[in-house]
């Protein structure tokens, strides 16, 4: 089976124009690795870019890459018309059995819906919900993205929803839905290293992680308010934020301005997988307080490294935490409950769970998720063939 996977090449998004190897999101990369291990699959990854980029034509034995340069004028405010045309031209050459668009944030989903081939779409984030949470103004990015999301969901054969939350939000807007979680990259399933051992003389300071781009809906400033209260009460811990904080964004600017006076807090931009795993393995817990989360991939990754979870059950996070050892799950926005849970957990020495990785392996390993994708591709093709 020949699959055309439409996804974002992050090199143009993060202005890494000198990088030769394409960079995809965490979920698409994990899925690609799982699909590539299936003998009956040939993968063609198609990505539009606003800048001409040097790219390899092949990323693996059965993985081909197609980078399509599309000038900026042909993107969002033109309804991605130029991207749609460029992708259709390339797909006529590839002749895939099925087209899979990853994400409605940019051009991938709408290009899949207008590809002229049997197609499905995966929602990584729900643009309609993002527009609501952020109170997106008419003409803004999320306002336009939400409109285009509605359009392409009506035109596709069906949507792969990464959680029951996502399914509930889109099932009335598309012909069919399937609940298929995002895959976690295989490297996260390597055996976690043992964190520093406590001794009576020198108990290690608990390290708390919060991961995600610094933004109003991720609520890092509100988490800082809780952390300041806990630290002022005499509790010892480190709080590490990992995620891009864009200067000029008022919320991120406020966050960055607070850090110099908080010596127990640190901030890093996004880290490569190996460095991120090292941070997980030396930490004690993941604090997750996002206002909206269609899935919550960082939660699954943290649990793959046997971290304690303390935070809000927003969106798809509830699916990940079902049946997970010692997870402390609070109602969305329960900041006082978060303070109480952290205070209680930090007092006896901040114990970590021992076996959450095994639960995650059964649910989110790339081989498990890829096999489910193959079943859906065959279902769609059989349905179309029967008409």
What the block records as the tokens of 164 is 């029951």
With CA atoms as reference, report the closest residue to 230 among 257, 196, 265: 265
Residues making up the chain, counted from first to last: 387
The continuous run of DSSP H or E covering 30 comes out as: helix 26-36
Would the CATH topology of 2-183+365-386 be identical to that of 186-363?
A: yes
Given a contact cutoff of 8 angstroms between Cβ atoms, the answer to whether 71 and 93 are in contact is no
pLDDT at 202: 46
How far is 387 from 76, CA to CA, in rounded Å? Answer: 34
For 179-190, b/e burial (b = at least 16 CB within 10 A) is ebbbbbbbebbe
- In sequence order, the β-bridge partners of residue 342 are none
Q: What is the CATH number of domain 2-183+365-386?
A: 3.40.50.2000
Q: Domain 186-363 is of which CATH architecture? A: 3-Layer(aba) Sandwich (3.40)
What is the domain partition of the chain in residue ranges?
2-183+365-386, 186-363
Number of other residues whose CB lies within 10 A of the CB of residue 63: 18
Three-state SS at 255: helix
Q: Answer for the pair 58, 65: CB distance below 8 angstroms, yes or no.
A: yes
Nearest residue to 220 (alpha-carbon basis) of 209, 207, 205: 209
Q: Residue 164 has what pLDDT?
A: 93
Taking each helix axis from N to C end, the angle separating 366-386 and 26-36, rounded to the nearest 10 degrees, works out to: 80
Q: What is the pLDDT along the chain (387 residues), one digit of tens a residue?
A: 999 999 999 998 888 888 899 999 889 999 999 999 999 999 999 999 999 999 999 999 999 999 999 998 889 889 999 999 999 999 999 999 999 999 999 999 999 999 999 999 999 889 999 999 889 999 999 999 999 999 999 999 999 999 999 999 999 999 999 999 999 999 999 877 665 544 444 458 999 999 999 999 999 999 999 999 999 999 999 999 999 999 999 999 999 999 999 999 999 988 888 999 999 999 999 999 999 888 889 999 999 999 999 999 888 899 999 888 789 999 999 999 999 999 999 987 788 888 889 999 999 999 999 999 999 999 999 998 765
Q: Which of 178, 69, 77 is nearest to 121 (CA)?
A: 178
Query: 82 CB contacts (<8 Å, ≥6 apart)?
Result: 70, 71, 73, 74, 75
Helix and strand totals (H; E) in the chain: 15, 14
Residue 260's Cβ-count burial label (10 Å; 0-12, 13-18, 19+) is exposed
Residue 176 CA, chain-centre distance (Å), reads 22
Helix (H) or strand (E) holding 240: strand 238-242
pLDDT at position 238 is: 96
- Cα–Cα distance, 2 to 98 (Å, whole number): 7
At 198 the pLDDT is 43
The answer to whether 109 and 103 have CB atoms below 8 angstroms apart is: yes
C-alpha span between 77 and 339 (Å, rounded)? 43
CB contact at 8 A, 183 and 320: no
């Amino acid at each position: 089976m020949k699959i055309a996977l439409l996804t974002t090449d992050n090199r143009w998004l993060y202005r890494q124009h000198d990088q030769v190897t394409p960079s995809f999101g965490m979920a698409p990369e994990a899925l690609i690795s799982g699909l590539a291990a299936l003998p009956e699959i040939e993968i063609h990854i198609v990505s539009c870019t606003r800048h001409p980029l040097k790219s390899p034509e092949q990323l693996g034995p059965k993985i081909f890459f197609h980078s399509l340069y599309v000038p900026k004028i042909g993107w969002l405010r033109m309804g991605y018309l130029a991207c749609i045309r460029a992708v259709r031209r390339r797909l006529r050459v590839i002749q895939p059995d099925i087209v899979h668009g990853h994400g409605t944030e940019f051009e991938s989903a709408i290009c899949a819906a207008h590809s002229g081939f049997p197609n499905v779409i995966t929602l990584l984030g729900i643009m309609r919900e993002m527009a609501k949470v952020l109170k997106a103004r008419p003409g803004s990015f999320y306002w336009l993205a939400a409109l285009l999301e509605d359009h392409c969901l009506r035109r596709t054969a069906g949507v792969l929803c990464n959680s029951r939350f996502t399914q509930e939000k889109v099932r009335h807007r598309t012909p069919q839905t399937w609940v298929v979680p995002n895959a976690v990259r295989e490297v996260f399933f390597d055996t976690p290293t043992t964190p520093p051992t406590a001794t009576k003389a020198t108990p290690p300071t608990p390290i708390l992680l919060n991961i995600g781009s610094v933004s109003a809906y991720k609520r890092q400033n509100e988490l800082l308010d809780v952390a300041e209260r806990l630290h002022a009460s005499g509790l010892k811990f480190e709080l590490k934020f990992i995620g891009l904080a864009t200067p000029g964004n008022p919320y991120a600017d406020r966050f960055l301005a607070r850090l110099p006076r908080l010596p127990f807090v640190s901030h890093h931009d996004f880290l490569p997988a190996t460095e991120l795993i090292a941070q997980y393995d030396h930490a004690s817990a993941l604090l997750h307080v996002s206002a909206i989360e269609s899935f919550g991939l960082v939660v699954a990754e943290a649990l793959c490294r046997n971290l304690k979870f303390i935070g809000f059950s927003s969106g798809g996070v509830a699916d990940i935490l079902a049946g997970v050892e010692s997870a402390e799950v609070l109602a969305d926005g329960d900041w006082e409950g978060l303070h109480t849970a952290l205070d209680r957990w930090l007092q006896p020495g901040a114990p970590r769970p021992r076996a959450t990785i095994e639960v995650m392996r059964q649910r989110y390993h790339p081989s498990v998720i890829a096999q489910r994708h193959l079943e859906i591709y065959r279902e769609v093709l059989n349905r179309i063939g029967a008409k």
